[in-house]
């Protein structure tokens, strides 16, 4: 694949709503640019984001396989950053969700980082939670909130939302604020609640710079090809899974290519 790659592939340029780049051999960057606020529409998910994620995994797997005989396995490093439109600082994604797109970054076999460069609502928040790490604007130049606001307009959550939130948010008070109160978390509140790992002063470029710094630190951890499997196992309820699926349980783990990050406490992140 040549870069930059634009999606949907078959669409004309004005209708292409996602750009995939490969700024470093081991780093991929997905930029969402679907209208003003990067809504997660059917087209965005089925014909842009999902194919882009598949393309990243395929490219990394090819590098990973070819590097297995190399000393140090430098070619097996890898990380992915997802960011909202880069020429603005207002929205990461204000969109809706579909279950398929959550399961992909959530089980990806290399570290995934959400560069949250603006408001992060509903499906946009879920997309960020599906990533392993989250870096958010500090809101000092422009307001930015994380929020699941469905409670305020009577939209029941898909089961995929609930499953993801249970995995990512261990604090019951924070869980309640998200799900039942539709609280709008400021960046500082999101940091204190463990919803994001860093908040960054500045514009989208500054947030991306921090995301790339984190990616550089994490990318070597993809070398052995077990990042996704360990994520799956670290969050799986093993007893019921084995009882329900029998022998398929082991096969499913062995074939998993994606997963969840480790548990977060309600605090302890860093401010930069």
> In this predicted model, what pLDDT tens digit does every residue of 140-178 receive, in sequence order?
999 999 999 998 988 888 888 888 899 899 999 999 999
Asked if the model's pLDDT at residue 250 lies above 50, the reply is no
CB–CB of 268/174 below 8 Å? no
Nearest to 127 by CA among 151, 94, 102, 157: 102
Looking only at the bridges linking them, the beta strands covering 18-24 and 27-32 are antiparallel
> In this predicted model, what pLDDT tens digit does every residue of 18-73 receive, in sequence order?
999 999 999 999 999 998 888 888 899 889 999 999 999 999 999 999 888 776 66
At 271 the pLDDT is 32
CATH assignment, 5-271: 3.90.226.10
**77 vs 79: CA distance, rounded Å:** 7
**238 vs 218: CA distance, rounded Å:** 27
Bridge-partner residues for 7, per DSSP?
18
Map residue 143 onto helix, strand or coil: coil
Supply the pTM of this predicted model. 0.82
Structure tokens at 93: 């994604």
**211 vs 113: CA distance, rounded Å:** 7
Which residues, including other chains, have CB under 8 Å from residue 206's CB and lie 6 or more apart? 200
> In this predicted model, what pLDDT tens digit does every residue of 86-130 receive, in sequence order?
999 999 998 764 555 566 676 788 999 999 999 999 999 999 999
Longest C-alpha distance within the chain, in Å?
56
**Cβ count within 10 A of residue 269:** 17
Please report, for the chain, the start and end positions of each structural domain, with discontinuous segments joined by +: 5-271
**71 vs 88: CA distance, rounded Å:** 42
Looking only at the bridges linking them, the beta strands covering 198-200 and 270-271 are parallel
**25 vs 233: CA distance, rounded Å:** 29
């Amino acid at each position: 694949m040549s870069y930059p790659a634009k999606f949907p592939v078959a669409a004309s340029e004005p209708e292409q709503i996602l750009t995939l780049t490969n700024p470093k051999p081991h780093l991929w960057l997905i930029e969402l640019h679907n209208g003003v606020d990067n809504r997660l529409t059917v087209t965005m998910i089925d014909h842009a984001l999902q194919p882009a994620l598949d393309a990243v995994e395929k490219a990394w797997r090819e590098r990973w396989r070819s590097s297995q005989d190399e000393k140090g396995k430098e070619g097996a490093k890898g990380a992915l950053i997802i960011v909202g439109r880069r020429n603005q600082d207002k929205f990461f994604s204000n969109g809706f969700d579909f279950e398929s797109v959550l399961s992909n970054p959530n089980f990806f076999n290399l570290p995934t980082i959400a560069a949250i460069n603006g408001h992060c609502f509903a499906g946009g928040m879920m997309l960020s939670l599906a990533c392993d790490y989250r870096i958010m604007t500090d809101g000092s130049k422009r307001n930015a909130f994380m929020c699941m606001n469905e409670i305020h307009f009577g939209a029941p959550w898909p089961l995929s939302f609930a499953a993801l939130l249970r995995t990512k948010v261990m604090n019951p008070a924070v869980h309640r604020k998200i799900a039942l109160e539709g609280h709008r978390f400021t960046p500082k509140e999101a940091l204190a609640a463990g919803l994001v790992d860093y908040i960054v002063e500045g514009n989208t470029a500054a947030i991306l710079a921090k995301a790339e710094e984190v990616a550089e630190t994490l990318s070597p951890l993809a070398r052995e090809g077990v990042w996704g499997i360990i994520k799956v196992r670290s969050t799986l309820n093993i007893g019921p899974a084995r009882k329900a699926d029998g022998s398929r349980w082991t096969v499913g783990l062995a074939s998993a290519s994606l997963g969840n990050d480790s548990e977060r406490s309600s605090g302890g992140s860093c401010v930069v």
